[in-house]
Amino acid sequence: MRHRPAHSRTYPKTDSPVSAASSLESGAALFLDALEAQGCAPGTAQAYRTDLSQFALFLHPRMSAKPAWGLRDVGTDHVLVFIEDLRDRGRKPRTIARKVASVRSCFRLLCSVGVLESNPAIAVNVAAVARGSESLQRDGSEDALGERGDHPDFRSARDRAILEILYGAGLRLRELVGLNLSSLNMEEGSLRLQEKDDERIVPMESRVSAAIASYLICRADQLVDRDITQIDAGALFVNERGLRLHRRTVQRIVARGLPRGDAGGSATPQLLRSSFATHLLDAGIPAGGVQARLGQTSLPVPARAPASLEQLRAMYNRAHPRAYREANISATEVAAE
């Protein structure tokens, strides 16, 4: 008899000792027991077990601040960051979609039997994940990220700088929230990214530099009267209280600053990073050059990556829509004179 997929089943309430405070492993075990009781094929059950174990291993170091975290602490943002991490590791879209579907099925069971009230993965479009990362239309990137006037207030200047740096430099979300003032070299127009023993220098083009410079002025005004011992003085992007931004806050900033219509229904930091890469590739930049800009050293590429900051900057100026528009404006202005 052919077994039904986990998402089509309904389950009776249970007296299982698993609760909202239980570990993810306990919830996964309850889910797998239910699959076995329904006659799930061994290979399918093993695939679910592998996917859920990987999700648990991903979560544990990120939940270290919570001494006794459980199922109730898993949120949609954790699933989204899990997807981003899998993409950064070079996993194929269909593989990522399968893992997300496994997580969603597990939490659906936990909701069905009364362990949880909501499913953190229900809002994730698995079909869209399977299609791969979306990107802004090249011609529409200027509309989505176009100039929106001067931003004299702190929050607007900060949010503008975040959008510019995600799209104009192709940063990962974790790279952006980890930026410090010491990461900036405004004179050279570059960012220094440091992760463990790996260091990467990323050029900042004029729009990115201008947005950051405007934000730094507002940041200084915002924090001038704050007690330096009560703020994250070294962090580049902070909130109104001077504390380093959380990943979830940046996700909300992008969703708010990049309308869903512009993003094809998925306004996320990953969309901006993917758009950055897609637009460079569409312009004919070798995969090795794009790889160097993205810092994806583990992915196979057909071309050797540029070695210098100047080469990276030249590559950007030749292909990125933001730089391309600036060049056209400059040429027009010169002709007019």
Domain-embedded: residue 1: no
Does residue 53 sit in the same domain as residue 148?
no
Full domain range(s) for residue 200: 141-336
| Nearest-angstrom CA–CA distance, 210 and 204 | 9
Question: Where would I find the beta strands (DSSP E) of the chain?
Answer: 184-185, 190-195, 198-203
Q: Which of 131, 155, 176 is the last residue of a domain?
A: 131
Give the closest residue to 102 by CA, choosing from 121, 129, 130: 121
Does residue 181 sit in the same domain as residue 226?
yes
pLDDT tens profile 282-332: 666 666 677 777 776 433 233 334 445 566 566 656 656 555 444 443 333
Domain-embedded: residue 39: yes
Whether pTM exceeds 0.75: no
The predicted structure's pLDDT at residue 135:
57
* Percent of the chain residues past pLDDT 70, beyond the cut: 69
Question: What is the radius of gyration, based on Cα positions, of the chain?
Answer: 23
Return the bridge partners of 195, or none: 198
CATH number for the domain harbouring residue 272: 1.10.443.10
Does residue 79 sit in the same domain as residue 162?
no
Q: Which of 110, 131, 152 is the last residue of a domain?
A: 131
Q: Using the 8-state DSSP alphabet, how is residue 190 labeled?
A: E
* DSSP conformation letters of 245-311: PPHHHHHHHHHHHS-TTTTTT---HHHHHHHHHHHHHHTT--HHHHHHHHT-TTS--SSPPP-SHHH
**pLDDT mean over 229-249:** 94
To the nearest 10°, the Cα dihedral for 54, 59, 62, 65? Answer: -140
The predicted structure's pLDDT at residue 333:
34
Give the closest residue to 306 by CA, choosing from 209, 314, 183, 195: 314
Does residue 259 sit in the same domain as residue 326?
yes
Does residue 36 sit in the same domain as residue 112?
yes
Does residue 237 sit in the same domain as residue 270?
yes
Report the 10 Å Cβ neighbour count for 41. Answer: 11
Q: Which of 69, 98, 131 is the last residue of a domain?
A: 131
CATH number for the domain harbouring residue 92: 1.10.150.130
The predicted structure's pLDDT at residue 296:
60
Which band of pLDDT confidence, cut at 50, 70 and 90, is reported for residue 91?
confident
Does residue 175 sit in the same domain as residue 116?
no
| Nearest-angstrom CA–CA distance, 276 and 166 | 8
Does residue 123 sit in the same domain as residue 237?
no
Does residue 152 sit in the same domain as residue 248?
yes
> How many structural domains does the chain have?
2
The predicted structure's pLDDT at residue 332:
32
Highest mean pLDDT among 76-90, 179-193, 195-209, 294-308: 179-193
The terminus-to-terminus CA distance of the chain in angstroms comes to 79
Domain-embedded: residue 136: no
Domain-embedded: residue 180: yes
Does residue 241 sit in the same domain as residue 316?
yes
The predicted structure's pLDDT at residue 65:
73
